[in-house]
Amino acid sequence: MPELPEVETVKKGLQELIIGEEITKVTVYYERIIQNTSIPDFCESLIGQKIVDITRKGKYLIFILSDFILVSHLRMEGKYFVKNREEKAKHEHIIFSFKSGKTLRYQDTRKFGTMDLFKTTNLQEVLQSKPLVDLGKEPLDVGFDAEYLKLKVKKSSRAIKSILLDQTMISGLGNIYANEVCFYARLNPSEPANTLTDEDFENIATGAKLVLTKAIALGGTTIRTFANVHEIDGRFQNELMVHMKENCSICGTKITKEFVSGRGTYYCKKCQKKR
């Protein structure tokens, strides 16, 4: 699943390629992607709209248009590509045609992605509406620090990894980066959140910022299928410390894989001892 660094990479690529483009046609091949309006309304409303800007909140892409705002979530396998052709390729479910002759193509082998069209240009209004309103701060936001984490966690006995994956508490982290942040903080992923110290929270906040910043700089992580809009793989997989690793990058101990909150979890039993 694309996480914050991958979505940020897609955002930057789309900004380079389609800012200023005018939509002349929208074709929807898989209707369930469109969430909050009818397919005819979605397609007709977007004709004549220009791409003014593209931003992001957590794992959501936000397209700022002339008169509307389009919110897109890639879910498990969603991707955007820009092509100079009209014919549909396999797994392409929505095609936006532009006046210039370019096309923006939404491809999704799993068909789990979503799009919500808001008939406003007020971004704050959209951020205060579902699906964005319930998102917590992301690690790169101003105000994301140890105090924020302590306030969100309070007295929760949930595993710290479960907290890191909860988008209402921290937006943008998924399985890969949650594993990496736990390793940075030297925390066992199943450690109950209410046992963490002030130093632990400091380490989580610092680790999340460092890991995500480096992952963005390297174009995200490609484990299986992620590619940016230029169809280029990310490079952060070469920097992973525990996720899908055989041995610990620090001490050489064999990496353990267990399921925490239903998610495949990688950690070092020596560096991340359970308390």
For 39-74, the pLDDT digits (tens) are 999 999 999 999 999 999 999 999 999 999 999 999
From 2, 5, 139, 189, active-site residue:
2
- pLDDT band for position 223 (50/70/90)? confident
76 or 186: whose pLDDT is higher?
186
146-267 is classed CATH 1.10.8.50:
yes
d(CA 16, CA 1): 23
Instruction: State the average pLDDT over residues 22-46.
Output: 98
248 or 261: whose pLDDT is higher?
248
Residues paired with 97 in a beta bridge: 25, 103
**38 DSSP assignment:** -
Q: Helices 198-217 and 175-184 sit at what angle, rounded to 10 degrees?
A: 130
List, in order, residues 6 or more apart from 143 with CB less than 8 Å away.
137
d(CA 196, CA 77): 34
From 111, 235, 263, 269, active-site residue:
263
Report how far apart the first and last C-alpha atoms of the chain are (Å, whole number): 31
Identity at 14, one-letter amino acid code? L
From 11, 59, 79, 161, active-site residue:
59
| Residue 233 backbone dihedrals phi, psi, to 5 degrees | -70, 155
Percent of the chain whose predicted confidence (pLDDT) is above 90: 89
Give CATH 1.10.8.50 domain extents, the chain: 146-267
From 3, 6, 77, 138, active-site residue:
3
**269 DSSP assignment:** T
22 is catalytic: no
Instruction: State the average pLDDT over residues 170-176.
Output: 96
Answer for the pair 189, 178: CB distance below 8 angstroms, yes or no.
yes
3 is catalytic: yes
d(CA 179, CA 183): 6
- Residue 132 has which token pair? 């964005």
| pLDDT score of 170 more than 90 | yes
| pLDDT score of 229 more than 80 | yes
H or E element: which one contains 160? helix 160-165
Give CATH 3.20.190.10 domain extents, the chain: 4-127
Pairing of strands 263-267, 256-260: antiparallel
Mean pLDDT value across the chain: 95
| pLDDT score of 224 more than 90 | no
Question: What strands, in cross-sheet order, belong to the sheet with 51-57?
Answer: 51-57, 60-65, 69-73, 114-118
Identity at 112, one-letter amino acid code? F
| pLDDT score of 261 more than 90 | no
Q: Give the number of other Cβ atoms within 10 Å of residue 192's Cβ.
A: 17
| pLDDT score of 227 more than 80 | no
The whole-model pTM stands at 0.95
Instruction: State the average pLDDT over residues 115-126.
Output: 98
Instruction: State the average pLDDT over residues 21-33.
Output: 98
Question: What strands, in cross-sheet order, belong to the sheet with 79-83?
Answer: 23-28, 92-98, 103-107, 79-83
The residue assigned the tokens 């309006």 is 37
2 is catalytic: yes
| pLDDT score of 201 more than 80 | yes
| pLDDT score of 230 more than 80 | no
| Residue 175 backbone dihedrals phi, psi, to 5 degrees | -65, -45
Instruction: State the average pLDDT over residues 198-227.
Output: 92
- pLDDT band for position 233 (50/70/90)? confident
Return the CATH number of the domain spanning residue range 4-127.
Answer: 3.20.190.10
Among 11-25, 169-183, 231-245, the range scoring the smallest mean pLDDT is 231-245
59 is catalytic: yes
Q: What pLDDT score does 226 carry?
A: 75
d(CA 218, CA 236): 6
d(CA 139, CA 80): 25
